[in-house]
Structure 1
Amino acid sequence: MTCRWLAGMITRAEGPDGPVALRVIAPITGRRDKAYEELIAEELDAAVSAMSSQSIASPDFVAGVCATLSWTWQHSGRPPIEVEQPDVRRTAEASHGRHAAGGDSLPR
């Protein structure tokens, strides 16, 4: 949900006159505004406040929001999910037209 909000994802819902497009809501405050700098900072503050509250219904969800926003917005902590890093050498070779069987396809 947090990543969808950060990306500005639009969803469809059934309205009285048919489908309507709706922006994904912010995970803690429930705002439907598109994520921008000030709102991201406010959402992170709201998540941190919710973490210290004794009455949060879903502490794991709030912790996930905190981890995601801290990593994406403040560049702190570990990524909220483990992502395998691409083999840069193999990616670079593929983008230069090299292939395993025939070597270079570009003249040197």
Structure 2
Amino acid sequence: MQPFTIRDIQQHAVVNEQSVEIRLALPATPLKTQQWVQHFCALFGFSLSETDWGADRFQAIVTSQSQDASQPCNTHFQCMLCIEWLCEAIWLEPVGTQQSPNTVYQYLQNARQ
């Protein structure tokens, strides 16, 4: 059984000033974190790169093809996926000047199962 669905992410995503918070339970172990991230990437068509582990955090760059066919120049959508246990938070931060938290949020909301 998978830990969450696209709908779970969509219902628990909240736009903040600089990020999109995903208000779901945090994975409990490094293995569960890897499984959570792989499942998240599979659901939303992201590829995972540049992972970084800290004492209380996990960060990775996730990249996907743009879902908006009207923007042929914007072929890749990138954001930083952050999981921090001290903050008890999961969030996505846009990468680059062309993206905003609202763009990330809309991307998540437009995903289909």
Max Rg structure = 1
Superposition TM-score, scaled by structure 1 size: 0.26
TM-score by length of 2: 0.25
Higher strand fraction (1 or 2): 2
Greater helix share, structure number? 1
